[in-house]
Structure 1
């Protein structure tokens, strides 16, 4: 597709967290699959419409193997400790792995965790209430997913230190992929030992069998637990922080939730659609052959960026998409957990955590208010998402 507009440098400059750059809207209307020049050098393609982003997510001709291989290469030491899922990145191996892990990580298992998640949230809210300077990021957003993972994996006391050190290192790594790789390398020993002991859900995973009867190998179990750990920690923490920030910026929506006019389930789905603040790199993938989307052909091997943020603001998918309205929240309005074969394995548990955290917070602190300027929050970022550095609150 050709356009009258010169290819813009990507990622586009960050705006107020949930106000996407106007370039996204222009591209959805005029050049939904079109080239971009990368700020770090090189070129690629950017996909911005909901339907096209969903197509890329579901099309097995797109592979993240080069991304995972690059992450392996950033690890220091004589040999990489963790392959970042490279061994299961190709469609056939990935499908086989997902069929295996679905026996253990699924909606039923996530709902079984709900009472435990609720108890963890209540404990954290007790600490928040007692804090001299209450901050939702430090008191709830980051501790919650880590404590849920420790409970889910039944991590014994002598291995918890490794997970805690990893979480601290990961949060400090910011947008550095090298620091991220080093943090994951440091976690590897604790996860290997956890798998060796085979407790709880780890034992269930080791007992699961592939379609051909072959059992899950310890090596595959380690990779699975590593992937679940990083996805289950950062995704929930950053989304929870962004969700509260969006609510603080729209106090009328908080009032509707507090009054019971809106249920917590649709509220979470609208937060997942609206409260995205991506860095632009979360959806990097590469076609293994020439792929045509609409009337645009992307050559094999080119870098392709999909924008989940832009997809969530597509007027063809949801009316008045720049309006934050908890009541209209629905899973069909966003692609925050992916789509198709690569739909996030931890999505059911993430939803449970977000629902329990939001619902219990609004009930415990109906008068919760921000203790900062909501129109100019201090933001930070990891590799894929921008989120509030702090969320000081009062009531």
Structure 2
């Protein structure tokens, strides 16, 4: 078990929802459930997955909601267009400004990603021409070089070094610079956004301020690529999405930046922690006994530590899931963590076994029409990170017992606050 550092909970910008659930006969459990250990489901969540995978819950505010916790039902919600994220966006727009509608809309508008199905499908066809497995693999040498450059810097720092501060959070930011060909004069704004995002923790107000800063940088970036096209992905997207407005292009940059920074950093940190917790599995990865691509898929399944608020959506009409009627307007939460531990999908899902890693064992990148656009590049980043880190530093080890790693929280993830390691014995 690890200790919790500053596990703050803040206003997550949750909208008010229909209250007809409150009249149900049995009291609903309060969600999210308290976290005890990283990568170990709260007992109440594990129990619901086994006994009531579509369950009525209530939030700490008393607002009613539904929770999906089995692989089958999480996937069903993720792929059903009757569940919409538009109300989540509407609340996010208002939250940073004390409820004054519209004043933060541009910074929070992920545009066609959450549009009506037909508009979303058209947008997705365009972006999939640019952001796909082929493009991610084409960037692999560049990502590998970024990793090597960061590892070179690690060698020059006094021991121990903090892999969260000096590697996990730096890599995805530098990859975003490369992905969007961010000019030097704009990199400062992106770096300031990243720093303010991290410093804000779980605060929705701080998130709003950080997003406003990022929005300004994204507007400048799109204007630059309009004026000076290149062969890079953003210029390709501008060409492929001819007819879409700069607002839509800025929204796409915002979406890819948010998804490509914080979640990748958290996954690197949580993956490293899981490996340190399981030295035998780390040894198999170090020795090459398990292909890194296979290992990464097991890390994606096992090393999840969400706050419980990721994947929130709303029923746009009455929807029946597993014989349970989810009424129109009801808030719905999907637990990616619980779905990855579903014993219906694999035997002994609580164990960490790198050899059985498979993209079919988890829903970490979502499913269906809204499958994560940055998933191919995220996989490349994780693969290059873990393979090169342990190749360069085969004796790398935590500077203190793994049980002393403190966890912290942002809006959606729990992750190590620090991972101090010694690069050599």
In which range does the TM-score fall when normalised by the shorter chain?
over 0.9
Structure 1's 387 and 5: CA in aligned 2 closer, same or farther, altered over 3 A? Answer: farther
Task: Let me know the Cα RMSD of the aligned residues.
Answer: 1.7
Shift of 1:5: 7.8
Q: Residue 119 of structure 1 aligns with which residue? A: 145
Which residue among 31, 43, 46 is the counterpart of 1:22? 43
Q: Counterpart of 1:220?
A: 248
Structure 2 equivalent of residue 196 of structure 1 = 223
Matched-pair contact (CA < 8 Å) for 2:365–2:372: yes
CA distance in 1, matches of 2:370, 2:356: 25
Alignment partner of 1:185 out of 207, 212, 220: 212
Deviations 1:73-128 (A, max 9, x none): 12449832323325541322222211111111111110110000000000111111
**8 Å contact from structure 2 (residues 162, 419) kept in 1:** yes
When residues 5 and 22 of structure 1 are mapped into structure 2, their CA distance, relative to the original with a 3 A threshold, is farther
**1:251-270 alignment, distance < 5 Å:** 251-270=279-298
CA distance in 2, matches of 1:283, 1:202: 27
Q: Counterparts of 1:102 and 1:122 in 2: how far apart (Å)? A: 29
**2:162 equivalent to 1:135:** yes
State the Cα distance separating 1:4 from its structure 2 match: 11
Provide structure 2 residue ranges, at least 5 long, that are not aligned to the other structure.
1-20
**1:70 aligned to which of 85, 91, 108:** 91
Question: Structure 2 matches for 1:282-293, cutoff 5 A?
Answer: 282-293=310-321
Return the match for 2:103 from 56, 66, 79: 79
In the alignment, structure 1 residue 158 sits paired with structure 2 residue 185? yes
In structure 1, C-alpha distance between the alignment counterparts of 2:261 and 2:400, rounded to whole Å: 25
Question: Are positions 1:277 and 2:318 aligned together?
Answer: no
CA-to-partner distance for each residue in 1:345-383, whole Å, 9 max, x for gaps? 000000000000000011111111111331242111111
SS at structure 1 position matched to 2:235? helix
Partner residue of 2:399 out of 371, 391, 394:
371
Give the 3-state SS of the residue equivalent to 2:161 in structure 1: coil
Deviations 1:165-223 (A, max 9, x none): 000001111111221111010111111111011143221111114xxxx5232111111
Q: Verify the 8 A CA contact 2:113 2:370 in the aligned structure 1.
A: no
Q: Which runs of 5+ in 1 are unaligned?
A: none
Alpha-carbon distance between aligned partners in 2 of 1:83 and 1:136, rounded to the nearest angstrom: 30
CA distance in 2, matches of 1:276, 1:258: 22
TM-score with structure 2 length normalisation? 0.89
C-alpha deviation, 1:43, in angstroms? 1.2
Deviation for aligned residue 1:244: 0.1
**Does the Cα contact within 8 Å between 1:16 and 1:376 map onto a contact in 2?**
no
- SS at the partner of 1:375? helix
Equivalent-residue separation in structure 2 for 1:298 and 1:315 (angstroms): 25
Secondary structure of the equivalent of 2:67?
strand
Provide the C-alpha distance between the structure 1 equivalents of 2:28 and 2:154, rounded to a whole number of angstroms.
Answer: 47
Counterpart of 2:74 in structure 1 is 53
**C-alpha deviation, 1:41, in angstroms:** 2.9
| CA distance in structure 2 between the aligned counterparts of 1:121 and 1:259, rounded to whole angstroms | 20
1:102 maps to 128
Q: TM-score, normalised by structure 1?
A: 0.95
1:230 corresponding residue in structure 2: 258
Whether contact under 8 Å (1:313, 1:322) holds in the other structure is yes
Moved more, 367-376 or 223-232: 367-376
Task: Give the count of matched residue pairs.
Answer: 390
